[in-house]
Amino acid sequence: MKSNDNILACYLRVSDEDFDLKQNVLKDESTSISAQRRLIHSYIESKPELRQMNIREFLDDGYSGTNFERPAIQEIFQLVSEGRIGGIIVKDMSRFGRNYIETGCYIEQVFPLIGIRFIAINDSFDSSEYIGNTPGLEMAFKNVIYDYYSKDLSSKVKSIKKIQQKRGDFVAAKPPYGYIISRGGDGRHCDRHKLEVDPESAEVVKDIFRLTLSGWKPVKIAQWLNELLIPTPAQRLHKLYGFQCGGFTEYQLRSQFWKPGQVTKILQDETMTGATVNNRVQVKGVGSRKFKRQKTEYHVIVRDTHEAIIDRDTFLQAADIIRNRKTVRTDNRQKNENLFYQKIYCGHCGCRLKHEVHTRHSRIDAIYYCPHARPSGGGTCSLHSIKDELLKEQVLRPLQVQVQLILDKQMPLPKSDKEKLQSRLRAISRLLEQNKGKVPRLYEEFRTGNISREQFVKQKDAISSANNELDSERGEIEEKLYTIESAQKKTESESLLEITRLKTLTQNAVDLFVSKVVVNSPDSIEITWKSKDLFDEIYNRNA
């Protein structure tokens, strides 16, 4: 039996960039997972020393190579840190990574340092042939080319998707509730850019609109759906397409229940009227897996692209009902601000508490409640609610005690070199920007014979070293500036005196001092102060 260590990691990757978006097929069959797998295993069979290793496969399907935020590659790095990886093998360098700086760092510095053999088959690269030497320039500049290619390709993919959006193609990753990806005319071949009605969930959508028009609120509808054990949108996606499409673990899917927000989302989705709605989210940058939601005015809507579940008149009536409820709720909320937005949590289940404002007998009351304690949330939590005014009192009292202690210590205001640090930070940013273009220019010098190979390698390493030092200095300066700015905001005597005189808690006080609030019961809360380090510093300096 082979050891769990000395692993030969066979890394396979395919991303959206490898697909022809117009034809919905791979541009090159050799990039398919099966082709990569055959090539790698064939190579291993030809090398006796590789056959003796503990061979394991790691797969990233649908992840860009422009960064290393990929599940399988992160698993490899974890095993590397545990000393269990003996080698890594890929079809070519672009499978491992397209960012030439990061990729080059691993191949030229990290892997040789810890004795990991790296093989890129189609690039004819095997690090065991470069022990004690610098890998060939061809490898370094293939990485540069891959980096530029990836950025150019990402830009082209974005342009093509815009064209698809304007003509009404569905380009999102998963279908909205009530629909499935079209199976095509023959019922077997998928047309990923078209939607068709999912009969099972479409009936639920019709019920949601019918109940809304009859006067039911989303909370009551969600409770009704939970009582009937209707599968949630994520559970339906799992049944249709498997875990990957829903993005949930098996445990998360089992514990899911309908929430009022899901009902409202369906009521506001124009897809139900037969329109394709695109550009709801936008990726933050090339290779990033982080997205930001787009405002409604930026959505790209093309009508009559697929079968409607709800007619447009019904949709507009429901929209008016939702809009009117929001107007009343917004008016009340303006008088009762949610001071602890995204800072307040349940001490029993860990869920973030919701803020609710309602009117009873002409009196407006505001509370924080745990969604899991309500029937629409499954009724699984014992914490029900805490009044807004009570919570403000429980936070304000200890805050004023802390602030008074600071004033009693009479700590002198810190004098900072803020402007000097900011000037240096701008200079570092300029230097880093200048260094970005130096390596390609060096390569051009080398290619035309103006400098030797040794000169190129030496200067490239010098640039890399300078960048590392600049990055390190930038981090130190940013940390100093953060400390100075925090201190300036939090230790000015006038601001602190205002806190001690407050009759009720304000948004400014919460923003400056409160990091997190955990509610165990109306009589028991835990507060995490943003300024804990500042308080400690004050006590230490004036002890």
Give the DSSP per-residue string, 331-379: HHHHHS--TTTTTEEETTT-PBPEEEEEEETTEEEEEEE-GGGSGGGTS
Mention every residue, 6+ apart, whose C-beta is less than 8 A from residue 188: none
What is the residue whose two structure tokens read 């990806």? 181
Long-range CB contact pairs, 495-498, < 8 A, 24+: 496/403, 496/406, 496/407, 497/407
pLDDT of residue 487: 56
Rg (CA), the chain: 29
Residue carrying structure tokens 């509730």 = 177
CB 305 within 8 A of CB 168: yes
CA distance 314 to 308: 11
Measured CA to CA, the distance from residue 92 to residue 124 in angstroms comes to: 9
pTM value is 0.44
Encode the chain (543 residues) as per-residue pLDDT tens digits: 455 578 999 999 987 655 444 444 444 545 688 889 999 999 999 999 999 999 999 999 888 887 888 899 999 988 988 889 999 999 988 899 877 667 776 787 778 777 889 999 988 888 887 654 545 444 444 544 445 445 554 555 666 677 778 888 888 878 999 999 887 655 555 677 889 999 999 999 999 999 999 999 998 999 899 889 899 998 888 888 775 444 555 655 665 788 888 999 999 999 999 999 988 877 655 455 566 777 888 888 899 999 999 999 999 999 888 887 765 554 554 456 788 988 999 988 888 898 887 765 556 678 898 888 876 556 678 887 899 889 999 999 988 887 787 777 655 444 445 777 888 888 888 888 888 778 777 777 777 778 887 787 788 888 888 888 888 888 888 877 776 666 555 545 666 777 788 888 888 888 878 889 999 998 899 998 876 544 554 445 444
What does the domain layout of the chain look like in residue ranges?
7-165, 170-261+277-307, 417-489
CATH homologous superfamily for the domain 7-165? Resolvase, N-terminal catalytic domain (3.40.50.1390)
Query: 496: helix, coil or strand?
Result: helix
Cα-flanking dihedrals φ and ψ of residue 56, to 5°?
-135, 145
DSSP 8-state code for residue 106:
I
Tell me how far CA of residue 361 lies from CA of 103, 292, 337, 365, in angstroms.
Answer: 66, 41, 21, 10
CA 213 – CA 206 distance, rounded (Å): 11
